[in-house]
């Protein structure tokens, strides 16, 4: 059976290569884009964390990251995006395993991630925040403050930036609580099950606005935490697709259409345009 499987595999590769060779040379350079155009959609990984990404009750996908990606793929000849919700820590493995064509979720650029994927130029930038009880009873201003208080706990997304910031600041593993989504984090703070819940500022502000709970307070920005920017994250090997994405992203930044999409969500186009993937992926000095 194995022999037949190997033979079939080889035949499929041969047919694929022949089909590819029949394309005009420019398309050969971007086989992945040609595949997405033929497929009619790009499979995007999202988190459902407004305003970065959101899935409505009717399944409609929105949020700044998917909206930018949808527009760019449309311009590239890929009419639709199809989103699947993923934990941040599972997005890169899912991309590498071929379950997604691109991550458009506010997956912040950091050297360790930049080593694992191929990022576009910056799209969404934000600082970090802590959601706490009104009056900030434990006086948190930074992740180090959480570390110093031996009874304090902080919630954060699994595999997310805030989880790593808290651990790197010295909060022990058993006091960094993995929280699956924003609503859960909000409830856990309200119920006193965690002392703080950490997400980027715009995500925490969105939760706060919807909660309309005067017993909560936002500490932002978290002292000592960097301002991060995301980009669309592509699988290694799909550099040509990333490059095509960047061409359209640059045109939209130049024309003002990029700002028109992200700024109603609260993001700053100027912030994204003030930096580059190269700078954001560079190892810390």
Q: For ligand 6CS, which is the closer residue by CB, 88 or 258?
A: 88
Rounded CA gap, 147 and 138, in Å? 11
Nearest distance from C-beta of residue 103 to ligand 6CS, angstroms = 9
Rounded CA gap, 278 and 186, in Å? 35
- Indicate which single residue of 106, 155, 185, 231 sits in contact with ligand 6CS (rule: CB under 6 A): 106
Nearest distance from C-beta of residue 73 to ligand 6CS, angstroms = 20
Phi and psi, residue 266, nearest 5°: 105, 0
The reply to whether 108 sits near ligand 6CS by the rule CB under 6 A is: yes
Q: Are 83 and 55 in contact (CB under 8 A)?
A: yes
Rounded CA gap, 217 and 132, in Å? 5
Residues 202-231 that bind ligand 6CS (CB under 6 A): 203
Nearest distance from C-beta of residue 124 to ligand 6CS, angstroms = 7
Burial class (CB in 10 A: 0-12, 13-18, 19+), 119: buried
**Which one of the spans 31-39, 79-87, 101-109, 208-216 is the region binding ligand 6CS (CB under 6 A)?**
101-109
Q: Which two tokens stand for residue 90?
A: 């599972």
Bridge partner residues of 61 (DSSP): 55
Q: For ligand 6CS, which is the closer residue by CB, 42 or 117?
A: 117
Residue 135 backbone class (left: φ over 0; alpha: ψ -120 to 50; beta: rest): left
**Which one of the spans 38-46, 134-142, 153-161, 168-176 is the region binding ligand 6CS (CB under 6 A)?**
153-161
Q: For ligand 6CS, which is the closer residue by CB, 30 or 198?
A: 198
Binding site residues, ligand 6CS, CB under 6 A? 49, 52, 88, 106-108, 157, 160-162, 199-200, 203
């Amino acid at each position: 059976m194995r022999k037949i499987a190997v033979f079939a595999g080889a035949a499929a590769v041969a047919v694929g290569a022949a089909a590819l060779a029949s394309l005009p040379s420019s398309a050969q350079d971007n086989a992945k884009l040609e595949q997405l155009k033929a497929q009619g959609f790009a499979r995007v990984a999202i988190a459902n964390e407004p305003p970065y990404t959101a899935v409505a009750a009717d399944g409609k996908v929105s949020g700044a990251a998917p909206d930018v990606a949808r527009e760019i793929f449309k311009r590239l000849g890929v009419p639709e995006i199809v989103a699947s919700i993923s934990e941040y820590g599972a997005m890169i493995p899912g991309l590498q395993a071929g379950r997604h064509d691109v991550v458009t979720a506010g997956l912040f650029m950091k050297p360790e991630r930049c080593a694992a994927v191929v990022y576009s130029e910056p799209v969404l930038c934000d600082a970090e925040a802590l959601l706490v009880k009104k009056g900030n009873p434990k006086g948190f201003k930074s992740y180090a403050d959480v570390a110093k208080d031996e009874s304090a706990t902080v919630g954060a997304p699994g595999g997310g930036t805030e989880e790593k910031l808290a651990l790197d600041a010295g909060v022990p593993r058993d006091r960094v609580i993995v929280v699956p989504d924003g609503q859960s984090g909000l409830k856990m703070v309200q119920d006193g099950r965690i002392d703080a819940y950490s997400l980027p500022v715009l995500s925490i502000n969105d939760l706060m606005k919807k909660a309309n709970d005067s017993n909560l307070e936002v500490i932002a920005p978290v002292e000592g935490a960097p301002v991060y920017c995301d980009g669309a994250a592509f699988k290694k090997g799909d550099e040509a697709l990333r490059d095509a994405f960047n061409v359209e992203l640059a045109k939209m930044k130049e024309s003002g259409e990029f700002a028109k999409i992200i700024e109603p969500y609260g993001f700053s186009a100027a912030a994204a345009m003030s930096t580059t993937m190269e700078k954001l992926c560079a190892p810390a000095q």
